A and B are shown apart, each in its own frame.
Chain A
Amino acid sequence: MNESKHSAWKEFSKGILRENPVLRLVLGTCSTLAITTSAQNAIGMGLATTFVLVGSNAVISLLRKVIPDKVRIPCYITLIAGFVTVVQMLIEAYSPALRDALGVYLPLIVVNCIIFGRAEMFASKNKVLPSILDGLGMGVGFTATLLAMGIVRELLGSGTLFGFPVTAGVVEPILIFLLPPGGFFVFGMLVAAANKLAGRKGGAPAELSCCQICPHGAACAGPKESAGKEPTHD
């Protein structure tokens, strides 16, 4: 019993630091860069993605023996798109302001590589409970990273936190942190910090893994990329 609790905790916690989807696996970069202009948007995007991630991981894991291997990609995409539509309708009903803030990036959760990547690397090979925990952990890791980026960019770019003035009026806000270059720069610095921390524990620097998910990714990204190496628990 203790043993299974331990491994369940491991499944959940790996997404937060050790295999953080954004900083270590480098998945879902588009939404990470685009919507982190404020801490509030970051939380909204993080929670929406977590919902889709947990839902799709659970259903794909349940259906992993039913879906034929050859048509798995269209099947996954349809399932994920279904969950994204649910989230879109929920947000439209309860928080139209958030929908306007996230704009096109909300439906684009469909093509967020985190969700597809976890389906392919984890949920399709593991039982339901570990898959749900994996989705939850990855979602929390994603939300936390977005929040960190949102806080940095909002604080430096507009001098506020969650809309409340902090340094505004004392320090002149640096507008460029809200613009696209600021997004790339803050993300680069966060990845560098994560690399440094992971390096102390003997971890390798982060590498883009959206290409590992794609069956042809290795071919077009050059010979350097290696195949995904996720342990299976089944």
Chain B
Amino acid sequence: MIKELVAIFLAAILTENYILNRFLGICPFLGVSKNLKTATGMSVAVTVVMVIATAATWPIYTYVLTPLGLTYLETIVFILIIAALVQLIEIVLHRYVPALYNALGIYLPLITTNCAVLGVTMLVIERGQSDPNFGFVASLVDAFGSGIGFLVAMVIFAGIRERIADNDIPKSLRGLPITLVAASLTAVSFLGFQGLVDGMLG
């Protein structure tokens, strides 16, 4: 059981990385990765919201929507739960943990429309349908691993971008295009992890 959870966690970070393998959360990846501090803050906020959102949507899908035959409402229900949760987290942090709010607060409104968060809540449901062993705990581990994977990609990429900034780049490639080419090369390096998790634990 523990071994399977570790495998899920590592796979979520390395082989199924949300940004570099699944293209979810590209906006913050390109927009907020200009320096290390904002990249870390954003990723931590995303990780927290991913885990809490999965903890909320999984039981609602399994114990409310499925018995009532309302699974086609998944999209609407999930996005509203995420929007409400983000609001709630913001209010609670603001009221009780002002230090944390100052560090993460500005990233929270962005997260509602971050496709990585909605993506993780839907992908764990999808995976649970095809694999009966993939239950609530596995979903939470997957969400947490996905958040950490997001953090890893953001931090690596922030470092690369800080270096790109000092270089002489052809005019047409300046700005976004060179960032995308750099992202492409980062994604190539992540291809190297393919099969690693199965080989290590299988």
User: Complex: how many Å from CA A110 to CA B110?
Assistant: 14
Do the beta carbons of B31 and A78 come within 8 Å of each other? Answer: no
Say how far A219's CB is from chain B's closest CB, in angstroms: 5
User: With the chains together, A184 CA to B171 CA distance in Å?
Assistant: 19
A181 within 8 Å of B (CB atoms): yes
> Are B118 and A222 neighbours in the complex by a CB distance under 8 Å?
no
Say yes or no: A188 contacts B123, CB within 8 Å: no
CB–CB A206/B75 < 8 A: no
Q: Which chain A residues (140-155) contact chain B, with CB distance < 8 Å?
A: none
> Which residue of B is nearest A84, CB measured?
B75
Q: Kindly state whether residue B109 has any CB partner on chain A within 8 Å.
A: yes
Among B35, B110, B190, contact of A214 (Cβ-Cβ < 8 Å): B110
CB-CB contacts of B163-181 with A at 8 A, as 1s and 0s?
A: 0000000011111111111
Contact of B23 among A180, A189, A196, A205 (CB under 8 A): A180
Contact A184 B114 (CB under 8 A): no
Per the bound structure, the CA–CA distance linking A206 and B177 in Å amounts to: 9
With a cutoff of 8 Å between Cβ atoms, the chain A residues found around residue B23 in the complex are 29-31, 33-34, 180, 183
Q: What is the minimal beta-carbon distance from B67 to any residue of chain A, in angstroms? A: 19
Assembly CA distance A216 to B31 (angstroms):
13
- Give the total of B residues in contact with A, Cβ under 8 Å: 55
Taking chain B's interface residues, is the majority helix, strand, or loop, or is none over half, making it mixed? helix
State the total of A-B contacts with C-beta under 8 angstroms.
160
Instruction: Kindly identify, within residues 105 to 126 of chain B, every residue whose CB is under 8 Å from any CB belonging to chain A.
Output: 106-107, 109-110, 112-115, 118-119, 122-123, 126
Residues in chain A near residue B119, CB distance under 8 A: 104, 108
Interface check A165, CB cutoff 8 A = no
With a CB–CB cut-off of 8 A, which chain B residues contact A74? 80, 83
Q: What are the residues of chain B within 8 A of A30 when measuring CB–CB?
A: 23-27, 115
**Contact residues in A for B190 (Cβ distance below 8 Å):** 180
Contact for B75 among A73, A107, A205, CB less than 8 A: A107
B25 to chain A, nearest CB (A): 7
Q: How far is it, in angstroms, between the C-alpha of A30 and the C-alpha of B183 when the chains are bound?
A: 13
B20 to chain A: which residues have CB within 8 Å?
180
| A108, B121: Cα distance in complex, Å | 11
Instruction: Note all chain B residues with C-beta closer than 8 A to A162.
Output: none
Contact in complex: B26, A185 (CB < 8 Å): no
B-side contacts of A110, CB under 8 Å: 75, 79, 118
Check B187 for interface membership: any CB of A closer than 8 A. Answer: yes
Whether B180 lies near A208 (C-beta < 8 A) is: no
Select the residue from A89, A107, A112 with max chain B CB neighbours within 10 A: A107
Which residues, 200 to 222 on A, are CB-close (under 8 Å) to B? 205-208, 210-211, 214-217, 219-222
- Residues of chain B with a CB closer than 8 A to A220's CB: 32, 38, 41-42, 106-107, 110
- In the bound complex, what is the Cα–Cα distance between A181 and B38 (angstroms)? 24
A80 to B112, CA, bound (A): 14
Q: Complex Cα distance A188/B183, Å?
A: 9
Closest 5 A/B residue pairs (Cβ) = A188-B180, A184-B184, A192-B177, A34-B23, A185-B184
| Contacts from B to A (Cβ < 8 Å) | 20-27, 30-32, 34-35, 38, 41-42, 72-76, 79-80, 83, 106-107, 109-110, 112-115, 118-119, 122-123, 126, 171-181, 183-185, 187-188, 190-191
